[in-house]
């Protein structure tokens, strides 16, 4: 328990910020989960792209507000985009050498 008046105020402030950040973290986690599920489903590339874009926006927002660190957001975005590109970007088959 806080002993001084300023410590009591800091406790109230910390609790208020924690509750606010909890909502943003929940939104971020839900957006990431939906994006991963859309990628794993594979079928509709457009729906997956929309889901990934929403997740990227949410990650940028949480990083801007200081809820997660900027590098943490960048790493998560990078991994998400890599997963998306792996599933939906088709690479041409290697050509066989002509003899």
Both structure tokens of 98: 């002509």
Helix (H, G, I), strand (E, B) or coil at 18: helix
Task: Map out the domains of the chain as residue ranges.
Answer: 11-84
pLDDT digits (tens, 9 = 90+) for 31-83: 999 999 999 998 888 999 999 999 999 999 999 999 999 999 999 999 999 99
Q: Residue 79, Cα to own-chain centre: how many angstroms?
A: 9
* Chain length of the chain: 99
pLDDT score for 89: 84
Question: Which class in CATH covers the domain with range 11-84?
Answer: mainly alpha
């Amino acid at each position: 328990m806080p002993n001084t008046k300023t410590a009591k105020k800091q406790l109230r402030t910390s609790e208020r910020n924690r509750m606010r950040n909890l909502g943003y973290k929940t939104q971020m986690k839900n957006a990431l989960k939906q994006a991963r599920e859309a990628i794993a489903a594979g079928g509709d590339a457009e729906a997956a792209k929309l889901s990934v874009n929403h997740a990227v926006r949410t990650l940028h927002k949480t990083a801007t507000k200081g809820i997660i660190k900027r590098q943490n957001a960048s790493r998560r975005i990078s991994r998400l985009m890599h997963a998306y590109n792996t599933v939906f970007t088709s690479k041409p088959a290697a050509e066989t050498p002509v003899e």
